[in-house]
Amino acid sequence: MHGSQHLPIRPLWLCRRCGAPWPCGPARLSLLAEYQGNRTALLFYLAMLKEEANVHLTSLNPSAPPRDLTNRFLSWVRAPR
């Protein structure tokens, strides 16, 4: 988990490694592995990050606040795999 992590660049919330909107695919897989069996904690963690991203992205572009953050940060956790 060192050197190759897919972590967000704040306040842009793009992946530091692959440039995709965070959480990118590899970041999602990594989080699911890290929080395996503890989905509630993962959702709590992602909800906090979502709020942080919302503040950052809204301040970067006040005229077009982000609208898809719940889907981007949370919905994929609940999806059956």
Give residues in contact with Zn ion (CB under 5 A): 6, 15, 17-18, 24, 26
Task: Report the residue number, 6 or 46, with the smaller CB distance to Zn ion.
Answer: 6
Coil vs helix vs strand at 31: helix
Closest separation between CB of residue 33 and Zn ion, Å? 15
Closest separation between CB of residue 63 and Zn ion, Å? 28
Task: Report the residue number, 14 or 80, with the smaller CB distance to Zn ion.
Answer: 14
Closest separation between CB of residue 14 and Zn ion, Å? 9
Helix (H) or strand (E) holding 52: helix 39-60
Task: Report the residue number, 18 or 65, with the smaller CB distance to Zn ion.
Answer: 18
Distance CA 65, CA 58 (A): 5
Distance CA 79, CA 81 (A): 6
Round to the nearest angstrom and report the end-to-end CA distance of the chain.
23
